[in-house]
Amino acid sequence: MLGNVLKKVALVLLVVVVYQNWGKIERVFNPAQMVSPQTRAQANVVLYATDWCGYCKQTKRFLDSKGIPFKEFDIEKDADARQAYEALGGRGIPLIDVNGTLIRGFDPDEILAALK
């Protein structure tokens, strides 16, 4: 009986790890969807987020899946990040700064357009 419980716990942990790292896993199996190396090199992406935000997690997975490097700041844990977020107008998360273009919320098409 204890063996079955441990198997279920291990399965749940595996599912959680896969879910959290889906963008990186997808990039391995589907590299054609990645952004060009030149675009990645020129990308200046800053993500203002929190740990609990589902759209923030989707944004991170999307950026990872496209191979787009980004800097992430947690506005609840970092006072300087919170101040920068508020200076940009705040009002919701995620707030994404892509090469100077502000994107409020998770919008993959807007992110890709801002990279071009």
> What pLDDT does 19 receive?
75
Is the model more confident about 24 or about 102? 102
Give me the mean pLDDT over the 12-32 stretch.
Answer: 69
If one counts every other C-beta atom within 10 angstroms of the C-beta of residue 107, the result is 16
pTM, whole model, 2 decimals? 0.67
Q: Where are the domains of the chain?
A: 2-115
> What pLDDT does 15 receive?
79
Q: Which two tokens stand for residue 116?
A: 């071009």
Is the model more confident about 28 or about 80? 80
Query: For 33-91, what is each residue's pLDDT tens digit?
Result: 555 566 555 678 999 999 999 999 999 999 998 889 999 999 999 999 999 999 999 88
> What pLDDT does 54 receive?
94
CATH of domain 2-115: 3.40.30.10
10 pLDDT higher than 90: no
User: DSSP class of residue 35?
Assistant: P
Distance CA 42, CA 111 (A): 14
